[in-house]
Amino acid sequence: MNSHDAGLGNLSEPSSFIRKLPKAELHLHLEGTVDPATLAELSSRHPTPLPVLNNRYKDVSDSGRVLSVEDARALYDYKNFVGFLMAFKAVTERLRDPEDYELITYRMIEKLARESVVYAEVYVSVGVIFWRGQEFDPLFEGMERGRERGEHDFGVKLNWIFDAVRHFGPEEAEKVVAKAIDLRRRNVIGIGIGGDEARGPAKNFREIYAHAAKQGLHLTAHAGESTGPESIWSALRDLQAERIGHGLRAVDDPALVEHLARTGTPVEICLSSNVRTGCCRAINEHPVRRLFDAGVRITIATDDPEMFGTSLSREYELLQNNFGFSDDELSKLSDNSFEASFLPPEEKERYLRSRL
């Protein structure tokens, strides 16, 4: 079965119950919220050649050509993991100025409001920005302007999580964490690591995470997405991660599932992402139901919604259609999304109470 479809089916309109259910989104990459129209707009600001890694994209990779909306759509219609990486790269190489970040942040918040998301914790790939040699501070000012305008216009509250790249190594991650510490009073709530779990084992980042925690930052880590349960154990034990991003492979170790359930450690589940990247072969093979039934505190998220052709309501709809989640169970998942957030207890309570 090709991972492009793998049971995800066509987009339909989620029920009004799902669309109106107030939600928090806790696993969302800013760069993955750039829709084709916005990518085309960024491309006209910064015409750059696209990478040519396989033939499929030759037709949209004319050197220096400005991407049309159709080109951007073709780029997002990838068929394999390399295609996904190329789409992500095409976006990040066109994010150059504070104005670009302001634009994508504002549009992200506008879209979150349409999903009845009232609170979000959003990853920024600070590790990639450093790796590109970009000066971060002015870009952050752009993000913050977008956040302030978006919060004001759409009433969605947002905090940032600064994300480092595992396979760039601990020295690079240290720079990301130092920047998060600098900006922790400016809506930076935590740190994360993503990227290649095999080439960047969690134990390499132990001291960096301990330092971040001492400075009052919250801790999450992508783990168990492409490698087995030992990667999740390591994120818990070596990093003291408070939340696990993906955690897909926890199901391979009953003791780990039991541990996650007993400790109430939230696991950020991103169904469409797991299928589109090929980490899960087909939607019906996804362990989300098993994890939920075992008492694991799962929270539903979109990861890179534009690149995975999804939205948060659509992810809830997949749970209902493919795994038989009732409206009550979906409400429970929406509760989880607030409880699993890094907000202080009184703010979580405020969101939960306002839903009654």
Partners of 164 in beta bridges = 193
**Segment interacting with Zn ion, rule: CB under 5 A, options 202-210, 213-221, 229-237, 301-309:** 301-309
Is position 306 an interface residue for Zn ion (rule: CB under 5 A)? no
**Segment interacting with Zn ion, rule: CB under 5 A, options 51-59, 235-243, 300-308, 348-356:** 300-308
Residue with smaller CB distance to Zn ion, 144 or 303: 303
From the candidates 225, 306, 315, 339, which is the catalytic residue? Answer: 225
Order of all β-strands in the sheet with 218-223: 23-29, 117-124, 157-165, 188-194, 218-223, 243-246, 267-269, 298-300
Has 102 been annotated as catalytic?
no
Dist. CA 328–CA 188, nearest whole Å: 33
Is position 115 an interface residue for Zn ion (rule: CB under 5 A)? no
Partners of 218 in beta bridges = 190
At closest approach, how far in Å is the CB of 301 from Zn ion? Answer: 8
Question: Which single residue brings its beta carbon nearest to Zn ion?
Answer: 303
Q: How does DSSP assign 221-289, residue by residue?
A: EEESSSS-HHHHHHHHHTT--SEEEE-GGGGG-HHHHHHHHHHT--EEE-HHHHHHTTSSSSGGG-THH
Instruction: Kindly tell me which residue out of 197, 238, 303, 315 binds Zn ion, with binding defined by CB under 5 A.
Output: 303
DSSP character at residue 15: P
Residue with smaller CB distance to Zn ion, 84 or 209: 84
**Segment interacting with Zn ion, rule: CB under 5 A, options 15-23, 298-306, 318-326, 334-342:** 298-306
At closest approach, how far in Å is the CB of 202 from Zn ion? Answer: 15
Kindly report the backbone phi and psi dihedral angles of residue 148, in degrees, each rounded to the nearest multiple of 5, phi listed first.
-60, -45
At closest approach, how far in Å is the CB of 268 from Zn ion? Answer: 8
In the complex, the residues that contact Zn ion under the rule CB under 5 A are 303
